[in-house]
Amino acid sequence: MNTNDTMEVRIREVAQELFFRQGYAATSTTQIAHEVGCTQALVHYYYRTKENLFRQIFLEQIEAGLNVIGRSLCDNESFEDFLRHAISMYFDALTANPRLPDFVMEELVTNPERREYLREHFVKRPTYVLFYVQFESIVRREQEAGRLARVEPFDILMTIVALTVFPFLTMPMFRDMLGKTDKQVEEFIAHRKQEVTRFVLQGLKP
Amino acid sequence: MNTNDTMEVRIREVAQELFFRQGYAATSTTQIAHEVGCTQALVHYYYRTKENLFRQIFLEQIEAGLNVIGRSLCDNESFEDFLRHAISMYFDALTANPRLPDFVMEELVTNPERREYLREHFVKRPTYVLFYVQFESIVRREQEAGRLARVEPFDILMTIVALTVFPFLTMPMFRDMLGKTDKQVEEFIAHRKQEVTRFVLQGLKP
DNA sequence: GTCTATATGCTGATAGAC
DNA sequence: GTCTATCAGCATATAGAC
């Protein structure tokens, strides 16, 4: 939230923070304007509607998230190294943007139209279809070679994503309800990264 | 949503369904009344405030969810059987109430006061403190005996919960964005139950 | 580009008739 | 117990001055 930014940018930054924290429905353009230090009319001047402002932020975040997954697939190493590398990348990306999972999940779950929109604009993209096809063929190859348990590729993916995303999803509860400091949360995440890696590798042994 | 129920009950049932689907902020007492087929005044007659109506539903659901976890701990079997049994129970409980994880998480994440409230009224209860102490001692005992990998008890818990809850959290996306039918989702959940069990057991081998 | 002013509608909540 | 009527407040969005 750099004060040197243009109003247009500052509004988007503040809006993102509020949408992340409170969700779409609980955030008003009035509140956004107030935190920016401008009038509510200005928010609508730049983004016309609240939904429109939201959508820009939402898509940008989804894009960034999917890019991380896309970039995690490199074939030029052993499968074990790939897994280590991928899990590490996911943890690092989420550490840099810890609220992303909550934000995306909440808005996707409560709003069917957003799912439909995403289906059209992302899921069908060749990039992501290709990603899965490649991943699948690598898994099959490893299984043929007897280096990997006979598990469905989709299961592997879901297991990794679940274990990676979950600590970030539950971070606020972990902090407030179990009374942890920010530093303790940070340490726990680092610890989890190691443990998830160990667990996945062990769980995928033939 | 039995039509023979009293209005008081029907309002709570409809409210629950709407809170589950849309979240607290996006649901209005007017909408609840409309779906019940009564006036909005009646909703306030029985529950006084929207927050109050919500809280009753919320606490009831949390209580039910925690009870499942509490009941999953029985010491009179092998640890492997306990794990199988617990994971099976969690999957079954969530299958009967698939929206619970989304609902609880979303409302806890976006509302710090609810976390504070839960901390006071649930986390501190002897039942749950005791649960964890017992679980911990069982884990340590198994580790001493060399039957279990040297993993922190909390990690085991988090891994199981993450893997169990995640398919239910992402069910709407799985269905709409990957274009799955309800039947396919159901089959996938059943499949996941097996796979998670296998994975956890394998991952916890010494 | 940023403001003030305002339209219009919906919200949660209450008062009072029946 | 259920309704109608109504309140104040805040929401999104727009028009128009500067």
Asked if residue B102 has pLDDT above 80, the reply is yes
Categorize the per-residue pLDDT at A29 as very low, low, confident or very high, splitting at 50, 70 and 90: very high
Within window 25-64 on A, which residues have Cβ closer than 7 Å to strand D?
27-31, 40-41, 44-45, 48-51
Asked if residue B35 has pLDDT above 80, the reply is yes
Question: What is the average pLDDT across B56-81?
Answer: 90
Instruction: Please tell me the predicted confidence (pLDDT) of residue A70.
Output: 87
By mean pLDDT, which of B50-54, B72-76, B174-178 is the weakest? B72-76
Instruction: Please tell me the predicted confidence (pLDDT) of residue A128.
Output: 86
Asked if residue A178 has pLDDT above 70, the reply is yes
Q: What is the pTM of this model?
A: 0.96
Instruction: Please tell me the predicted confidence (pLDDT) of residue A145.
Output: 97
Categorize the per-residue pLDDT at B128 as very low, low, confident or very high, splitting at 50, 70 and 90: confident
C1' of C14 to CA of B112 (Å) = 29
- Domains of chain B: which residue ranges? 1-48, 55-203
| Cβ within 8 Å, pair A110-B21 | yes
CA distance B172 to chain A (A): 6
Asked if residue B50 has pLDDT above 90, the reply is yes
Supply angle C-alpha B159, B161, B165, rounded to 5. 125
DSSP state of A121: I
Asked if residue B142 has pLDDT above 80, the reply is yes
Asked if residue B38 has pLDDT above 60, the reply is yes
The protein residue nearest nucleotide D14, judged by CA to C1', is: A41
CATH level 3 topology of B55-203? Tetracycline Repressor; domain 2 (1.10.357)
Question: What is the average pLDDT across B147-175?
Answer: 97
Instruction: Please tell me the predicted confidence (pLDDT) of residue B74.
Output: 77
Instruction: Please tell me the predicted confidence (pLDDT) of residue B49.
Output: 98
Instruction: List CB-based contacts (under 7 A) with strand C.
Output: A 6-8, 38-42, 45; B 27-31, 40-41, 44-45, 48-51
Residues A86, A91, B62, B44, CA torsion sign = negative
Q: For residue A93, give both structure tokens.
A: 């990306």
Mutate to test the interface with B, among A24, A62, A109 (most CBs of B within 10 A): A109
Asked if residue B1 has pLDDT above 60, the reply is no
Q: Which residue has the higher pLDDT, A122 or A205?
A: A205
By mean pLDDT, which of A1-10, B20-29, B76-85, B125-134 is the weakest? A1-10
Instruction: Please tell me the predicted confidence (pLDDT) of residue A124.
Output: 87
Contacts of A184 (CB under 8 A, 6+ apart): none
Instruction: Please tell me the predicted confidence (pLDDT) of residue A2.
Output: 63
**Average model confidence (pLDDT) across chain A:** 95
Asked if residue B76 has pLDDT above 80, the reply is no
Question: What is the average pLDDT across A107-128?
Answer: 92
| Cβ within 8 Å, pair A123-B199 | no
A113 touches chain B (CB under 8 A): no
Instruction: Please tell me the predicted confidence (pLDDT) of residue B3.
Output: 66
Instruction: Please tell me the predicted confidence (pLDDT) of residue A84.
Output: 96
CATH superfamily of B1-48: Homeodomain-like (1.10.10.60)
Buried b / exposed e across B39-61, counting CB within 10 Å, b at 16+? eeebbeeebeebeebbeebbeeb
Asked if residue A76 has pLDDT above 80, the reply is no
Q: Which residue has the higher pLDDT, B101 or B77?
A: B101
